A and B are shown apart, each in its own frame.
Chain A
Amino acid sequence: MIGEEQLLGLLKRVVSRSPAERTELVCMGGRSGLTRYTKSAIHQNVIEEDTSVYVRVAEGKRLGVVTVNRMEEEELVQAAARAVEVARHQPENPYFEDFPQPAQYQKTNTYFEATAEFTPTARAETMKKIFAQSDRLGFEVAGAFSSGEAEIAVLNSNGLSAYQPLTHAQITIVPVSEHGMSRSSAFSHDVSTIDFEGLAARGLERCALNKDQQEIPVGQMDVILEPSCLADVIMWLSMIAFGSSSFIEGRSFLAGKLGEQSMGDNITIYDSIVEPEAQGLPFDFQGFPKQKVVLIERGINRGVVFDTMSANQAKTKPTGHGLPPGMPHGAIPWNVCLEPGDSSLEEMIASCRRGLLVTNFHYVNGFLDPKNALMTGMTRYGTFFVEDGKIRHAVKNLRWTESMLRAFSNVQAISREREVISDEGGMFSVMPAVYVKDFTFTGVQKEELD
């Protein structure tokens, strides 16, 4: 970590020496470590330190981007000169007007010393306790535990200056028995808030249930989807529907259909950096303040996210969801949340006459028919048959193929409790569990020849 004062000072000097008409610098870097384990032993343990600077310049309406991972002032000034050369050979971008102006940002708490100082040895000691916990039940543990600190800074020739430090701690625990697996995971900016023993205990309990998996016939069936499943599906919706490019180009199911009902009236999906469960980065990669954006409100299509150029193209206002310079994807939501309901996982199971409890999805793909949000994927880490309000037995993993517009129109109940599901980069989603009627299963995981 370079630190706010030193980093912004360096970037300011580079902007002042840049040969470009306008200059924008986006700096991302830090130190992170990741410990992976299988069969209750660490098999991979890595740390890395890196900082990259995206130098974006504007010559009139011509833009050029050069990225380097060197932090010497001269290197960065030279990168700006190379970006000018790139810009001069590009056609004008009619949607570029200027880099953003200085702004005030919402304060979010994303940095915790305890996480920044968490060492590889501390990660190994934590895992040693979890391995001992699983040994007592005769299970092995696989998974990954990462922690680290990062800093993101944006500075431009309009005087905009933004800086945010972040820490992350993320653990996945996959207990493995001779019969099956389960998965539990946690994310927090503050490692001291993670209840490792409780998390492992929940995973071990689920793993004990995941045995004697029976094959069930495919077809439509009620499902209770745990938060992790929703996070996978929402990530795909963000790519194919909630971003600026898919909307402007007409590939999104929201395109030309704002104000129309596409999901059930109990579904509200929004992007927000301040939730009771988590807080996010208060600006985007242009330094534009992040706005709360309602994407779906009570089932009605309300909007998508924009950066400055896509907003100009769509003749609307930016929402603060720009990606790092040079990427071709437009704006994408980063912190998607599904509004909680008034049920609980236990109540959903109790209310289910005949259905499945799905704990995790695997390998979801949303490119089948994006206009209808048709997706496919598998179930993983424990799928359970529920009958007359009780979990009866585990079933073999299933393939599903379903339109998410149809699925989100068939949601019967949503839990009050939500989980934060995140990656290291500051993206997260906050998801409840949901009960979906008549979800479509189309295949079974099996090896035997029929």
Chain B
Amino acid sequence: METKEWLKAALENLSRDGVDYADARHLDRESESITVRNEQVAGLSRKSDSGFGIRVLYKGSWGFAASARLTEASVMDTANRALEVARASYLTQREAVKLDGSQPQRGSYKSDFEVDPFTVPLDKKLGLLFGALKVLRQDKRIGVAEGSMSFFRTDKLFLSTEGAEIMQSIMESGAGISATAMEDGELQRRSYPDSHGGDCLARGYEFIESLRLVENAESTREEALALLSAEPCPADTTDLIITSSQLGLQIHESCGHPTELDRALGTEISYAGGSFLTLDKLGKFRYGSKIVNLYGDATIPGSIGSFGYDDEGVPAQRFPIIKAGIFVGYLTSRETAPIVGGQSTGAMRAQGWNHIPLIRMVNINLEPGEEDLSLDDLVADTKDGILVATNKSWSIDDLRLNFQFGCEIGWEIKNGKRVRMLKNPVYTGITPQFWNSCDAICGRSEWRLWGLPNCGKGEPPQTMHVGHGTAPARFRNTEVGVKK
């Protein structure tokens, strides 16, 4: 309570100093990360991180200061330094920042969970991971068997000079396993349920148990071993079926990032890049085929891309991005939304107390197909093609046009059947060309929401937890393999 009073007093002082606007965020985060590799605990740490940040808008210019020292004097000093920084920004101002008319909120939000992962004994967590690794390592060609878990509990308070007062508490849990098979200089990896640490949801330890890591270890191992003798993915132009988690990353890179309005306005061009989705394209550009519908939604219970309010205090919401293939909306903030004639979509998020909020993805999802097409149906409907699963490599240009993704595993499809496994599948394309070639999306029963806890953006770099809901989809005439 002391903290809240100090922060409120600091904001009152800033108001008296004549700032246009100021907000304060205090954040407490507990985290635990465990990585086991073969017979060893490769990494295990528990971290407590707390502090506060104060953001000031002075004569239309921003300043931000943050400190981990939680004393009344430090709060006042940090507020003054935020103002000093804003005054420095003002020295180069060419256009004053104006915020939208979002109403200040007073409220709270708490994510649901059944079992607090921080109360689960370490022995139990390690036992589960080592149990899965034991199955993975039952063949000596598995050179590296790895499992990991990560847990986050975040409590944050948001206050503003406009009168906002919001408390949020979010619990997140994630886990995954992988097997790397090695033989005669060949190296192939399979991961479950996804690569890059598995899957992560805003749930408790019950989510970890629901993943059934031990039960899925055998198939993970066997696919890694089978890849050792698989044929390489040929260089070709063919129909491509992308399964759910890889399609999530495809959406992330080729739709999520380019529809962040700050990128489109140029505030990231010296680092992460800009966007081919320039303002003139809004409402008229054909981004994809008519069956492609993408939307942002921060209200989905249980996702790490969900919350009650963003880090500007704007309520979580659902909003369209691509409607029947047409680009119709950006992810926006209070500063940028008026530029495209709207109100913030509630997408301003900060990694921690010491970071300013930036426009970040929430859950960026692909609507499932209207018919309840299964993955098997989609394969059966494909004469010649390749099916790929689970991300291995990713790269996209600074405007989010030319991409190349590598996957852990592929299968060649002939006359509606998977005929052989392929190793090192890679596909490449140009974003609008690619999404316009989408001619089939599986139905609701194949749709799954994935958590991606490592989205990077901004300077200093910030890592954000985002979500992607997808169903497998088919893309006609896609370039696969690497042409020599």
Q: Is A426 an interface residue (CB 8 A)?
A: no
Of the candidate stretches A117-125, A191-199, A340-348, A351-359, the one touching chain B is A117-125
A163 to B276, CA, bound (A): 47
Q: Are the CB atoms of A365 and B393 closer together than 8 Å?
A: yes
A-B pairs, top 6 by smallest CB distance, nearest first, are A326-B45, A328-B43, A328-B35, A328-B42, A89-B122, A174-B270
Q: Which of A50, A121, A127, A364 contacts B67 (CB 8 A)?
A: A50
Asked if A251 meets B45 with Cβ closer than 8 Å, knowing A89-B122, A368-B392, A397-B398, the reply is no
CB atoms of B92 and A67 under 8 A apart: no
In the complex, what distance in Å separates the CA atom of A181 from the CA atom of B397?
A: 14
- Stretch with Cβ within 8 A of A (4 or more), from B47-55, B205-213, B221-229, B411-419: B47-55
**Which chain B residues border A68 with CB–CB below 8 Å?**
47-49
State whether B143 touches A51 (Cβ < 8 A): no
Q: Are A42 and B121 in contact (CB under 8 A)?
A: no
Total A-B pairs in contact (CB under 8 Å)?
Answer: 262
Among candidates A45, A127, A365, A399, residue contacting B62 with C-beta atoms closer than 8 Å: A45
A-B contact pairs, 21 of them (CB 8 A): A32-B460, A35-B89, A40-B92, A41-B93, A42-B61, A45-B89, A48-B53, A64-B44, A67-B46, A90-B44, A120-B88, A125-B91, A142-B270, A144-B459, A146-B459, A176-B269, A250-B144, A362-B273, A376-B393, A399-B404, A399-B428
A157 to B78, CA, bound (A): 36
Chain B residues, CB < 8 A from A370: 187
Please pick, from B35, B126, B269, B392, the residue contacting A89 in the complex, using a CB distance under 8 A: B126
Alpha-carbon gap, A183 to B430, bound state (A)? 25
Q: Are B270 and A365 in contact (CB under 8 A)?
A: no
- CB distance A142 to B37 under 8 Å? no
Extra pairs beyond A251-B187, A380-B397 (12, CB < 8 Å) = A35-B88, A43-B62, A47-B81, A66-B46, A90-B41, A131-B92, A142-B269, A362-B398, A378-B397, A397-B398, A445-B402, A447-B401
What residues on B are CB-neighbors of A94 within 8 Å?
A: 40
Are A447 and B67 neighbours in the complex by a CB distance under 8 Å?
no
Cβ-neighbour of B92 out of A42, A119, A367 (below 8 A): A42
B102 is an interface residue with CB less than 8 A from chain A: no
| Interface membership of A128, Cβ < 8 A | yes
List which A18-77 residues lie within 8 A (CB) of chain B: 32-52, 54, 63-70
What chain B residues lie within 8 Å of A33 (beta carbons)? 85
Give which listed residue, A38, A121, A146, A378, contacts B266 with CB less than 8 A: A38
Q: Tell me the bound Cα distance from A366 to B404 in angstroms.
A: 12
Contact B354 A67 (CB under 8 A): no
Neighbour of B402 across the interface among A369, A371, A446, CB < 8 A: A446
CB of A107, distance to nearest CB on chain B (Å): 29
What are the residues of chain B within 8 A of A131 when measuring CB–CB?
A: 92
Partner of A41, one of B35, B51, B95, B270: B95
Contact in complex: B86, A41 (CB < 8 Å): no
User: Is A424 on the interface with B (CB-CB < 8 A)?
Assistant: yes
At the interface, yes or no: B218 with Cβ under 8 Å from chain A?
no
Residues of chain A in range 362-402 having any CB-CB distance to chain B below 8 Å: 362-371, 376-378, 380, 397, 399, 401
Contact (Cβ within 8 A) B482 A401: yes
A89 with B402: in contact, given A38-B266, A43-B267, A128-B92 (CB under 8 Å)? no
Does B341 lie at the interface of the complex (its beta carbon under 8 Å from any beta carbon of A)?
A: no
Nearest CB on B from A71, distance (A): 8
Q: Which residue of B lies closest to A93 (CB)?
A: B40
B436 within 8 A of A: yes
A387 CB to nearest B CB, Å:
24
Complex contacts, B436 vs chain A, CB 8 Å: 449
Task: State whether B84 touches A442 (Cβ < 8 A).
Answer: no
Q: Are A120 and B45 in contact (CB under 8 A)?
A: no
**A123 contacts B51, C-beta separation under 8 Å:** no
Interface residues contributed by chain B, number (CB under 8 Å): 86
* Closest partner residue, chain B, to A325 (CB atom): B45
User: Which of chain B's residues has its CB closest to A218's CB?
Assistant: B483
Nearest CB to that of B424 among chain A residues?
Answer: A369
Q: Is A208 an interface residue (CB 8 A)?
A: no
Residue-wise, chain B 350-364 has the 8 Å CB interface mask toward A (1 for contact) of 000011100000000
Q: Are B94 and A41 in contact (CB under 8 A)?
A: yes
The yes or no answer to B5 lying at the interface (CB within 8 A) is: no
**Of all chain A residues, which has the CB nearest B97?**
A43
* A46 near B65: Cβ-Cβ < 8 Å: yes
Q: How far is the CA of A94 from the CA of B397 in the complex (A)?
A: 45
User: Contacts A47-B85, A362-B398, A449-B433 known; A69 to B266 CB distance under 8 Å?
Assistant: no
- Residues of chain B touching chain A, judged by Cβ–Cβ distance below 8 Å, are 33, 35, 37, 39-51, 53, 61-69, 78, 81, 84-89, 91-95, 121-123, 126, 143-144, 148, 180, 182, 185-187, 265-267, 269-271, 273, 276, 354-356, 392-399, 401-402, 404, 406, 424, 426, 428, 430, 432-433, 436, 459-460, 482-484
Q: Is the CB of B187 within 8 A of A371?
A: yes
Which A residues touch B187, using CB under 8 A?
250-251, 370-371
Which of B40, B51, B95 lies at the interface centre, i.e. has the most chain A CB atoms within 10 A of its CB?
B40
- Contact (A36, B459) CB under 8 Å given A42-B92, A69-B49, A377-B395: yes
The dominant DSSP class at the A interface is strand
Is A82 in the interface zone, CB < 8 Å from B? yes
Q: B319 CB to closest chain A CB, in angstroms?
A: 24
Contacts of B399 in A (CB 8 A): 445, 447
A204-248 residues with Cβ-Cβ distance < 8 A to B are 245
CB of A415 within 8 Å of the partner chain: no
Minimum C-beta distance from B482 to chain A (A): 5
Cross-interface CB contact of B66 among A49, A51, A63, A123, cutoff 8 Å: A49
Produce 1/0 per residue, A398-428, CB < 8 A to B. Answer: 0101000000000000000000000010000
Q: How far is the CB of A191 from chain B (nearest CB, A)?
A: 16
Give the shortest distance, in Å, between B105 (CB) and chain A (any CB): 24
| Bound: A415/B141 CA distance, A | 44
Complex Cα spacing A33 to B401, Å: 33
Q: Confirm or deny: A91 has a beta carbon within 8 angstroms of a beta carbon on chain B.
A: yes
Distance in Å: Cβ of B335 to nearest Cβ of chain A: 9
Q: A70-B68, A123-B88 are in contact. Are A446 and B430 (CB under 8 A)?
A: yes
Shortest A324–chain B CB gap in Å is: 9
A365 in contact with B42 given A128-B91, A128-B92, A144-B270 (CB within 8 Å): no
Determine whether A86 belongs to the interface, using a CB cutoff of 8 Å to chain B.
yes
Known: A46-B65, A326-B43, A401-B482. A362 touches B397 (CB 8 A): yes
- Asked, given contacts A65-B45, A181-B269, A249-B144, whether A124 binds B483 with beta carbons under 8 Å apart, the answer is no
Give Cα A449 to B285, complex, Å: 13
B92 and A447 form a contact (CB under 8 A): no
**Quick one: which of A144, A368, A377, A444 has the most chain B CB within 10 A?**
A368
Give the residues in chain B near A446, CB-CB below 8 Å.
401-402, 430
Q: Which residues of A contact B42 (CB under 8 A)?
A: 245, 328, 330
Contact A367 B393 (CB under 8 A): yes
CA of A446 to CA of B402, assembled, Å: 7
Q: B398 contacts which chain A residues (CB < 8 A)?
A: 362-363, 378, 380, 397
A127 to B270, CA, bound (A): 15
Q: Does B482 contact A365, Cβ atoms closer than 8 Å? A: no
Beyond A45-B62, A48-B66, A326-B43, whether A365 also contacts B395 by CB under 8 A is yes
> B144, B269, B394: which contacts A251 (Cβ < 8 A)?
B144
Q: How far is the CA of A242 from the CA of B333 in the complex (A)?
A: 42
Chain B: CB-nearest residue to A67: B47
In the bound complex, residues from chain B placing their C-beta under 8 Å from that of A183 are 270
Report whether A86 and B122 are in contact in the complex, using a CB–CB cutoff of 8 Å: yes
* A299 close to chain B: CB less than 8 A: no
Can you name the residue of chain A whose Cβ is closest to the Cβ of B286?
A449
Interface residues of A in 245-294 (CB under 8 A from B): 245, 249-251
Residues of B close to A363: CB separation below 8 A: 395-398
Q: 0/1 per residue, A123-158, Cβ < 8 Å to B?
A: 111011001000000000011101000000000000
